Amino acid sequence: MTAATRSLRRWGFVHKWTSLICTVFMLLLCITGLPLIFHEEIDDLLHSQVKAAEVPPDTPLADLDRLLANAIVNAPGQVPHFLIWDREDPNAMFVSVGPSITSDPSKNLLIRMDSHTGAYLDAPDVTGRFTYIMLKLHTDMFAGLPGKLFLGLMGILFCVAIVSGIVVYAPSMRKLSFGTYRAGRTRVVRWLDVHNLAGILLVAWTLVVGFTGVINTWADLVLKMWQYGQLAEMTAQYRDRAPPTKLTSVNAAVEVAAHAVPGMTASFVAFPGSIFSSKSHYTVFLRGNTPLTSRLLKPALIDAETGTLTDSRDMPWYVSTLFISQPLHFGDYGGMPLKILWAVLDVLTIIILVTGIYLWMRRRRAGVSVDRVIARSSGIESPALSS
């Protein structure tokens, strides 16, 4: 056996096992991911929501302190963690509230508010929704951080399977031209052609969506790192100060932040004591206005006792990487046609996974190991398989 054959066999072995281990989970991710591409449309279809007031363009936005007070009136006993502008709907914004400022924000209630009138709209419990169940299955299988990190590991195996798949693509195409589909042959040959063709055509997309998905599973850790890194650094001098007894205006804080960072608009505000701020600050997160810069948030810290800006910096590279990897995973940055393409590419990925499992089972039954088939330039000519 030559060194090249041995090396190919090794790659075949890697491709087989990384694929086999992650396939079931990748199928789950592809199937649950499909409706998630259209989660807004599905929610609109399945659930009615109170519409924000129709207003002429250039209507000024409501005073945020008044809006906040209206929200809290409708959520007795709750405290605000975040104030969030709706990316998709400029007429609405959210107040995220929890039982206390230190409570787990992932269990917060989202109150929808009218951004022009400042009126309360609704605060639906989303946890029973179809899209919520799909999202939980897709991100952590209802198993919290361990579930997330486990799926991340499966994502890494998926990426290794893609790369090893590129290597083993070469020997199986030695005698075939690009795009060959032998429609007249047995199913195992046809499905091998489908697997090879779809696999190689989608390499860039599956690698990007797979790897950005892996990065997304580290989101909690990345944000913790930022919290204990840059945020702690920016607020170090306030660490031992008593939290303010009375908070300054949040509306003024947002205005101060927007002034300090020209050309950017507010994306969300973290209240003093919440996980994205210090005990003494409002953190106003600002965003740019292009598809790319709108994802790159920039924090501005506003002293909640004096209402002055104390610091504003760009996020460190690891947070920016996370922010950029989000649209590349979700496919929500190029309008409806991009979403539809995302769905089609997702279905093609499911086809790659299913044909892959089938090829493995057929070869096992035929008693021909995958690595041997691959090493033998074009294993489909084997009499054991052309039944």
- Give contact residues for another protein (rule: CB under 8 A): 166, 169-170, 173-184, 194, 197-198, 200-205, 208, 290-292, 324, 327-328, 333-335, 337-338, 341, 344-345, 348, 377
Question: Minimum CB separation from another protein for residue 102, in Å?
Answer: 36
Q: What are phi and psi of 13, to 5 degrees?
A: -60, -45
Report whether 166 contacts 200 (CB < 8 A). Answer: yes
User: Which lies closer to another protein via its Cβ, residue 193 or residue 371?
Assistant: 193
Report whether 188 contacts 385 (CB < 8 A). Answer: yes
210: Cβ–Cβ under 8 A, 6 or more apart, which residues? 155, 158, 159, 162
Long-range Cβ contacts of 350-353 (<8 Å, 24+ apart): 350/27, 350/30, 350/31, 351/194, 351/198, 352/195, 352/198, 352/199, 352/202, 352/206, 353/23, 353/26, 353/27, 353/30
Say which DSSP state 300 is in: E
User: Which lies closer to another protein via its Cβ, residue 119 or residue 345?
Assistant: 345
What does 12-29 look like in DSSP terms, one character per residue? HHHHHHHHHHHHHHHHHH
Residue 135 structure tokens: 């999202």
User: Which lies closer to another protein via its Cβ, residue 194 or residue 304?
Assistant: 194
**Separation between Cα atoms, residue 259 and residue 302, nearest integer Å:** 12
Question: Minimum CB separation from another protein for residue 368, in Å?
Answer: 22
**Separation between Cα atoms, residue 198 and residue 215, nearest integer Å:** 24
Query: How far from 173 is each of 31, 45, 318, 375, 385, CA to CA, in Å?
Result: 30, 46, 39, 12, 17
**Separation between Cα atoms, residue 173 and residue 178, nearest integer Å:** 8
Question: Minimum CB separation from another protein for residue 28, in Å?
Answer: 23
Residue 219 structure tokens: 């989101």
Question: Minimum CB separation from another protein for residue 354, in Å?
Answer: 14
Question: Minimum CB separation from another protein for residue 34, in Å?
Answer: 15
User: Which lies closer to another protein via its Cβ, residue 52 or residue 159?
Assistant: 159
User: Which lies closer to another protein via its Cβ, residue 60 or residue 337?
Assistant: 337
Question: Minimum CB separation from another protein for residue 208, in Å?
Answer: 6
User: Which lies closer to another protein via its Cβ, residue 70 or residue 172?
Assistant: 172
Question: Minimum CB separation from another protein for residue 214, in Å?
Answer: 16
User: Which lies closer to another protein via its Cβ, residue 17 or residue 333?
Assistant: 333
**Separation between Cα atoms, residue 10 and residue 320, nearest integer Å:** 37
User: Which lies closer to another protein via its Cβ, residue 45 or residue 347?
Assistant: 347
Question: Minimum CB separation from another protein for residue 262, in Å?
Answer: 20
